[in-house]
Amino acid sequence: MDNVYLILVVILFALAISDLIVGVSNDAVNFLNSAIGAKAAPFKIIMLVAALGILVGTTFSSGMMEVARKGIFHPEYFYFSEIMVIFLAVMITDVILLDVFNTFGMPTSTTVSLVFELLGAAVSVAIVKVNSNPEALQQIQQLIGTQDVTVGTFINTNKAVLIVSGILLSVIMSFSVGAIVQYISRLIFSFNYGKPLKYFGSLWGSFAITAITNFILVDGIKGSTYSSVKIFSNITLSDWTQQNTILILVFSFVFWAIILQVLQFLKVSILKIIILVGTFALAMAFAGNDLVNFIGVPLAGLNSYQDWVSSGQPADELLMNGLTGKVPTEYYLLILAGLVMVITLWLSKKAKTVIKTSLNLSRQDEGEEKFGSSLFARNIVRAVIKANKHFSKITPKVVSNFLDNRFNSSHFTEKQKKEKNPPAFDMIRASVNLVVASILISIGTTFKLPLSTTYVTFMVAMGTSLSDRAWSQESAVFRITGVVSVIGGWFFTAFSAFTVAFLIALLFSITGFYGIAAVLILVIYLVIKTHAFYKKRENESAKSLIPLVAEHNVMEESVNSITDTLIIISEILDNVVIGLEKQDRKHLKNINQDVIALNAQAKHLKANIYKTIVQFDKDSVKTSHYYVQVLDYLRETAHCLTYISQPSLEHIDNNFGSLLPEQIKELKDTAKNVKIYFTQIIDTITNKKYEDVSKIIDLKNSLINNVNSYRVLQIKRVKHNDVGTKNSMLYLSILHEVKNLLLNGLNLLKAQRDFSDFKKLN
């Protein structure tokens, strides 16, 4: 039996490694978002700074490990066998939930996951204990000196409520503090912060770094592995920092003010220094606060196993009193965990997907939005617009002009237009994001409250973007919907974590080791499937998202877009006919996904018309007009396929009758003719042989006549009752969309010809 529990401890640590990987993929957005969004340094430098912050931060997390051992439930009321069930259920649930959220690029909270998983698993085991183990219940009654033992007896209710309240309060505090600090910072520096930075930059940066020093070094040292290190005969490092806090802060402020002023004199961007220091601090705060989410439970499992082995008692008789005291965490285990986090940080592709979501919602400029509009967001924006109009009437004109001037972002957006890959926001906002978030997280760590770093950093970023007027009237509904979606995902995380952990713990309590083995196999399968799904989706995304290009390359990109689209359309049309002939539902389903990807590509190009046009020369009005026309016809051409592939899939999916052999033959001939037609268009555009347009017009007319003749044949079949209603609707719909394909293809050719001819004149 000893070997079985030893295997379970090994499984806990194996799950911890997996949890570290998926957890860091999720939480990397917390400390990378600001530096990457502001493009404060090359990507590798940002990653290196963050990696160093993580390694240092892991040694500050020892005090937080107590949350996993006794923060949510009373371990002294559970047997060793029950504790292992709780810990296994928690780790398995954590791996599943975080992996799913990462796959879909949604930032979620590892802290909330841990808290509610511990709560759900503990409640589940407590219910089983209360209802099916009278002897154990009697033992607990003797320990607490009362007959009134319920499920609530086993839960550390006060601490759990405090932790949950702290997490929820952090959402409001983070948003509010981020918005207020950013508002003040923008009033001081504005978007054109060159001159103000010369006068106040060193003081402002010194204050920011000193604040980080206070909350990470002075307060954070108390819970770290260095707290008991003696620097004098009877004084520990923790005691010395507490006794000399004011001296440390004054020295830090003066030191950094001088250093930053010298750097500024040497033409070094002090904002970049502040952002990199803030990135280091936030990565350090993340590791110090969140490491418990990944390895706290396995370490508690190891401590439990060691206590059980030394006790010599049966696993279902030893109460886990050993977890109630303060158990030191081995230094090397923290470092190993930090190394796993660093490696994951460098290699994880899912981390980049989560970062994109956060940057999309906080960027300064407008463009294609990831989230749609919602009724709630529309009502909020409508109410704010009304309130803003009211305040505008009563605000003095001088004050309004001053505020408009300080928050005028045109200087920043003009710089964005000149860059191929511009920053999402400026360095003032990035530095505020980092400083405010690291301070708030460090306060939570100091009080041993496992605040959600995701909640804090995300809401700080949303607060600063709101103050910066990044949520314009054209983008506000989408940004609010996005924020609400992410917050809704957090609440869904809490509900899912509790429910899944509860059910898994219940299953383990009933089935024992057989259930554990079955669930572990299921987890491995789910992780493999989500990885495959993510990889497939990323490949599709890579195909559909075409980067914006400068004016001198737009002609080449336009030709490539048209060529690729027409080739894909021809192939898809062929495959739809094959799917209908074979009545292959899976084949048509895959084709339909290709059509969706193609339309996403066309939509992406159309959505970014504004960004592309503003890069053109101011005199290129006609060029812009023809470019817009090309994209319009390109999207219309791609959109025609939706009305071919979707009805075809629905026809087969609903098990309607198959098409007649002669109908299939007609559709094959049509698809073949469309391919010839598009090939000629591609050849004309690629080789700029626009004198052949008249020949293509003749070919188009001929093909439309063929389509019309097939339509007449179909009407005859209907008259002779050879086909049913569904057959006729599908067949006539396909023929109609083929005609649209032919017409839009010709319009696309003409638009590209005009675009090309006008470019030559200029």
Give the range of the structural domain holding residue 606, as residue numbers without chain letter: 545-761
237 and 346 in a single domain? The answer is: yes
Mean pLDDT over 399-427 rounds to 72
487 and 565 in a single domain? The answer is: no
- What is the crossing angle of helices 331-347 and 349-362, to 10°? 70
Q: How confident is the model at residue 218 (pLDDT cuts 50, 70, 90)?
A: low
**DSSP output for 389-438:** HHHHHHS-HHHHHHHHHHT--HHHHHHHHT-SS--SS-HHHHHHHHHHHH
Name the range with the highest mean pLDDT among 13-27, 313-327, 559-573, 694-708. Answer: 694-708
> How long is the chain?
762
Distance CA 15, CA 521 (A): 12
Which SS3 state, helix, strand or coil, does residue 688 take?
A: coil
Q: How confident is the model at residue 546 (pLDDT cuts 50, 70, 90)?
A: very low
Q: What is the pLDDT, as a whole number, of residue 529?
A: 78
Residue type, 93: T
Q: How confident is the model at residue 549 (pLDDT cuts 50, 70, 90)?
A: very low
Q: How far apart, in Å, are the Cα atoms of 18 and each of 25, 96, 110, 555, 639?
A: 11, 10, 13, 47, 42
- Mean of the per-residue pLDDT values of the chain: 78
The candidate with the shortest Cα–Cα distance to 543, out of 523, 576, 510, 567, is: 567
The candidate with the shortest Cα–Cα distance to 125, out of 545, 507, 568, is: 507
Q: How confident is the model at residue 139 (pLDDT cuts 50, 70, 90)?
A: confident
Q: How confident is the model at residue 735 (pLDDT cuts 50, 70, 90)?
A: very high
Q: What is the pLDDT, as a whole number, of residue 224?
A: 62
Cβ(465)–Cβ(365) under 8 Å?
A: no
Q: How far apart, in Å, are the Cα atoms of 487 and each of 456, 494, 570, 636, 750?
A: 12, 11, 43, 36, 48
> Which residue, 511, 536, 561, sits at the end of a domain?
536
Neighbours of 94 (CB within 10 A): 27
Query: Which tokens go with 333?
Result: 């285990």
Cβ(118)–Cβ(90) under 8 Å?
A: yes
Q: How confident is the model at residue 506 (pLDDT cuts 50, 70, 90)?
A: very high
Q: What is the 3-state secondary structure (H, E, C) of 173-239?
A: HHHHHHHHHHHHHHHHHCCCCHHHHHHHHHHHHHHHHHHHHHHHHHCHHHHCCCCCCECCCCCEHHH
Distance CA 163, CA 178 (A): 22
Q: What is the pLDDT, as a whole number, of residue 357?
A: 59
Q: What is the pLDDT, as a whole number, of residue 538?
A: 57
Which of 205-209, 339-343, 711-715 has the lowest average pLDDT? 339-343
Q: How far is CA 530 from the centre of its chain?
A: 15
583 and 441 in a single domain? The answer is: no
Tens digits of residue pLDDT in 524-543: 888 787 767 666 665 555 44
Cβ(100)–Cβ(352) under 8 Å?
A: no
Q: How far is CA 178 from the centre of its chain?
A: 20
Query: Which tokens go with 452?
Result: 């959600």
- Which of the pair, 372 or 750, is modelled with greater confidence? 750
Mean pLDDT over 729-736 rounds to 91
Distance CA 572, CA 634 (A): 16
Neighbours of 108 (CB within 10 A): 28
531 and 573 in a single domain? The answer is: no
Q: What is the pLDDT, as a whole number, of residue 544?
A: 44
Distance CA 11, CA 119 (A): 21
Tens digits of residue pLDDT in 292-344: 667 778 888 888 888 888 888 888 888 888 777 665 566 677 777 778 777 77
Q: What is the pLDDT, as a whole number, of residue 267?
A: 82
267: left (phi over 0), alpha (psi -120 to 50) or beta: left
131 and 262 in a single domain? The answer is: yes
∠ at Cα 457 (272, 202), nearest 5°?
A: 30
487 and 626 in a single domain? The answer is: no
Any idea what DSSP says for residue 39? Answer: T
Task: Indicate if the pLDDT at residue 702 is higher than 80.
Answer: yes
Residue type, 669: D
Q: What is the pLDDT, as a whole number, of residue 551?
A: 42
Which of 107-111, 234-238, 284-288 has the lowest average pLDDT? 107-111
Task: Indicate if the pLDDT at residue 637 is higher than 80.
Answer: yes
Which of 383-392, 539-548, 560-569, 684-693 has the lowest average pLDDT? 539-548
107 and 255 in a single domain? The answer is: yes
Cβ(466)–Cβ(479) under 8 Å?
A: no
Any idea what DSSP says for residue 320? Answer: -
Q: Which residue has the tokens 């005009």?
A: 754
209 and 181 in a single domain? The answer is: yes
- The number of distinct structural domains making up the chain is 2
Q: What is the pLDDT, as a whole number, of residue 537?
A: 61
Q: What is the pLDDT, as a whole number, of residue 548?
A: 38
> Which residue, 505, 536, 567, sits at the end of a domain?
536
Residues 6+ apart with CB under 8 A from 372: 478, 481
326 and 188 in a single domain? The answer is: yes
Backbone angles phi, psi at 79, to 5 degrees: -80, 165
Q: How far apart, in Å, are the Cα atoms of 53 and each of 279, 513, 725?
A: 8, 40, 67
Query: Which tokens go with 166?
Result: 């702290």
Cβ(351)–Cβ(74) under 8 Å?
A: no
Q: How confident is the model at residue 547 (pLDDT cuts 50, 70, 90)?
A: very low
Task: Indicate if the pLDDT at residue 493 is higher than 90.
Answer: no
Mean pLDDT over 730-748 rounds to 89
- In terms of Cβ atoms closer than 10 Å to its own Cβ (0-12, 13-18, 19+), residue 131 is exposed
Task: Indicate if the pLDDT at residue 6 is higher than 50.
Answer: yes
441 and 531 in a single domain? The answer is: yes
Mean pLDDT over 3-7 rounds to 81
Mean pLDDT over 652-680 rounds to 89
Name the range with the highest mean pLDDT among 96-110, 355-369, 669-683. Answer: 669-683
- Which of the pair, 353 or 124, is modelled with greater confidence? 124
Residues 6+ apart with CB under 8 A from 217: 241, 248
Distance CA 289, CA 220 (A): 10
332 and 194 in a single domain? The answer is: yes
501 and 588 in a single domain? The answer is: no
% the chain with pLDDT above 70: 78
> Which residue, 514, 536, 558, sits at the end of a domain?
536
Q: How confident is the model at residue 616 (pLDDT cuts 50, 70, 90)?
A: low
To which H or E segment does residue 25 belong?
helix 2-38
pTM for this predicted structure:
0.67
Task: Indicate if the pLDDT at residue 355 is higher than 50.
Answer: yes
Q: How confident is the model at residue 370 (pLDDT cuts 50, 70, 90)?
A: low
Distance CA 519, CA 542 (A): 34
Tally the C-alpha atoms within 13 A of residue 553's C-alpha that lie toward its C-beta: 11
Q: How far apart, in Å, are the Cα atoms of 686 and each of 491, 605, 623?
A: 53, 20, 19
- CATH of residue 756's domain is 1.20.58.220
Tens digits of residue pLDDT in 228-239: 777 766 787 777
